[in-house]
Structure 1
Amino acid sequence: MNETRELAVVTGASTGIGHELALCCARHGYDLVVAADGPDIHAAADRFRAIGVQVEAVQADLSTLHGVDELYEAIGGRPVGALLANAGRGLGDGFLDQDFTEVRQVIDTNITGTIYLVQKIGRDMVLARGGRILITGSIAGYMPGSFQAVYNGTKAFIDSFSFALRNELKDSGVTVTCLMPGPTETEFFKRAGLEDTKVGQAEKDDPAQVAQTGFDAMLRGDGDVVSGWKNKLQTMMASVTPSGVLAEMHRAQAEPGSGKN
């Protein structure tokens, strides 16, 4: 690693928003430690290296403490200028029909692994009196997610956690920003089994634009950013709409088979 450049750690960096966030970091001049749970993280790392920065790729299961420890060890004690905690997993279908092993995978990826990594790197940042943390939440955290109940619940946790941590660190020199995307054109819907739903088949946001919005907000030190005016409008409506109504609205979008004509 080039000791004259700052280091950014990006999780979920093989595809989608995480991949685009890593590209933002590389173009900004950060060296990278990137992680994902699949072998395609190594091909992604080659694309980041082509920009001219040094990249360490880590294939690890970030739903486990062991996987997070592997990633942390790969940093090698180097100060981290930016942590972009983006790794996440979704799961469609009714809660009672879901395999609980997959339910646990969603919870442990989106919450347990994320906050464990944030704690480990965040402590180092506080000691260094500086650093930026970007956590990928979701506008899904604003509404009860019928047929995505666990996923939306995890994002509600992350959205809330991000603001709480930001407040705790307000005098530390470390900023915390929560990126709240809406439906984005990524592998998420395929992996979550949501391709036959209305939301799965609808037009979605460009992950490159979403990532740039989040990256710019992180650099400014903003508390949160919702990408896209439609998503901003949706979050505003969610704050004044009864939860039962929101759940029914979400059902219309995420119920299996809702995308069939």
Structure 2
Amino acid sequence: MTPTNPLAVVTGASSGIGLELARQLAVRGFDLVINSEDQERLDEAAAQLRAEGGQVTAIAADLRRFEEAEHFYDAVTGTSRPVAVAALNAGVGRGGAFLETDLADELEIIDLNVRGTVHLAKRFLRDMADADEGRLLITSSIASTMPGSFQAVYNASKSFLQSFAQALQVELKGSGVTVTALMPGPTETAFFHRADMDDTKVGQQEKDDPARVAEQGLDALFAGKDKIVAGSVKTKAQEFVNKVLPDRAKAEAHRKMAEPGSGENGS
């Protein structure tokens, strides 16, 4: 039987914001192709998402690696269905002073957050442009608006994605293809634990609900907006503060939030 639902692709979909993006796309009537590196966790997510209705295809791939990103794209195109929505959400972070963190960890951030996103954006956007139809969501961050003391490479990667999204918006203006940057603040996901930031102030503070972030992101996507600072009023206010503070002051404020041990001693 020929599928009647539109198709959405979500990367980094096994948990957190990615899982909520996929869930809410399913509720909105989309079939899904979801991705993460971990097949077991991805299969668990797929089982949850199928309960929302629609078809769900789970394709594990490590998007840091060119061949696996190509494999994922080929698997999507192998469905012979146009991609109506691509949510490029996969990302990773690492806390700590740049001089002390492992180079391999920093390069992993660049490979997944930057390289993997650019790779799939190139593939999916060309297909969308050929059809003159489609929507691309890039998960940037409120971190893109400030220098990231003790998260130097992570924040820089998100600044790249924000600039990248804005450039694509200009290039695609007047076409049937839209690009939206989703800019969440600290969100209640496994990110901070995986980034080894449990003992930081930002790691221990109250965080935004990933379902709320995803909902606001998709509302902005379907409204054709360029960007959305998603989450609580506090997160939205942070963007305004970042616009008026000098970069050095922003970097110092970020240091107090992200410095290892700051959650334990309250500094």
**TM-score if structure 1 supplies the norm length?**
0.98
Summarize deviations over 1:123-180 as a string: whole Å, max 9, x none. 0000011000011000001101000000000000111111110110112200000000
One of 175, 178, 182 as aligned partner of 2:178? 175
Q: Which residue of structure 2 lines up, in the alignment, with residue 249 of structure 1? A: 253
Query: For residue 82 of structure 1, what is the aligned residue in structure 2?
Result: 85
Among all aligned residue pairs of Structure 1 and Structure 2, give the percentage whose two residues are the same amino acid: 52
The 5-angstrom pairing of residues 1-261 of structure 1 reads: 2-39=2-39, 40-75=41-76, 76=78, 77-227=80-230, 228-261=232-265
Q: In 1, distance between residues paired with 2:28 and 2:170?
A: 27
Runs of 4+ in 1 over 2 A off after TM superposition: none
2:28 counterpart letter in structure 1: H
Alpha-carbon separation, structure 1, partners of 2:81 and 2:127: 10
Give CA-to-partner distance per residue, 1:205-226, whole Å, 9 cap, x none.
Answer: 0000000000111111110000
Q: TM-score, normalised by structure 2?
A: 0.96
1:72 and 1:2 mapped to 2: Cα distance? 21
3-state DSSP class of the match of 2:136?
strand
Question: C-alpha deviations, 1:227-257, integer Å up to 9, x for none?
Answer: 1221221111111111111111000000000
The more displaced of 230-239 and 178-187 is: 230-239
Q: Which digits, 9 at most, give the CA deviation of each residue in 1:11-52, with x for residues without a partner?
A: 000000000000011001111100001120011011111212
What amino acid maps onto 1:248 in structure 2? E
The one-letter code of the counterpart of 1:46 is A
How much has 1:3 moved relative to structure 2?
A: 2.6
Query: Match of 2:92, as an amino acid?
Result: R
Q: Distance in 2 between matches of 1:50 and 1:182?
A: 29
Q: Structure 2, unaligned stretches of length 5 or more?
A: none
Supply the distance in 2 between the matched residues of 1:202 and 1:154 (Cα, whole angstroms). 23
For structure 1, which runs of at least 5 residues remain unmatched after alignment? none
* Alignment size in residue pairs: 261
| CA distance in 2: counterparts of 1:116 and 1:47, whole angstroms | 28
